[in-house]
Copies of this chain bind each other. A is one copy, B any other.
């Protein structure tokens, strides 16, 4: 390291567990910002470690890179993020997580009902979330199921 306060991409990779290519990719996506050395190599501030750590955690929680970018964009670009900056993000993540937990608990409870009858019928158990499926962009089922009450009688 030429400048002790700046990290090379390799340093950052070792510190975060990410691959060098992944960090370059994140850089291109704007998740982390790098300054360049005189020779054109990336140099990162230490706060990049935390940004990337956050990205890893958020991915675990099921966020897409686009969503993670949005969260990170709430951090100040000019100054090093403070404890309070990170607290705000963490709080929002907790809410997201909690919402997902509630949804999964609902699914589980509905599944419990299904196990009893062995039916697994969508109309009676409503084991899927229409809102979610409708909101889904890209590949996947495009429209929702209407009335299917009779479909599960005789199969």
Which of A66-100 touch B at CB < 8 Å?
Answer: 80, 82-84, 86-87, 89-91, 93-94, 97-98, 100
**Taking the complex as formed, is A57 at the interface, i.e. its CB lies under 8 A from any CB of chain B?**
yes
**Taking the complex as formed, is A36 at the interface, i.e. its CB lies under 8 A from any CB of chain B?**
no
Count this chain's copies in the assembly: 2
On whether the beta carbons of B127 and A16 are closer than 8 Å, the reply is no
**Taking the complex as formed, is A64 at the interface, i.e. its CB lies under 8 A from any CB of chain B?**
no
Query: Which of B15, B94, B111 makes the CB contact (< 8 A) with A111?
Result: B94
**Taking the complex as formed, is A49 at the interface, i.e. its CB lies under 8 A from any CB of chain B?**
yes
Docked Cα-Cα span, A94 to B116, in Å, equals: 12
Query: Which of B47, B104, B145 makes the CB contact (< 8 A) with A101?
Result: B104
**Taking the complex as formed, is A35 at the interface, i.e. its CB lies under 8 A from any CB of chain B?**
no
On whether the beta carbons of B61 and A107 are closer than 8 Å, the reply is yes
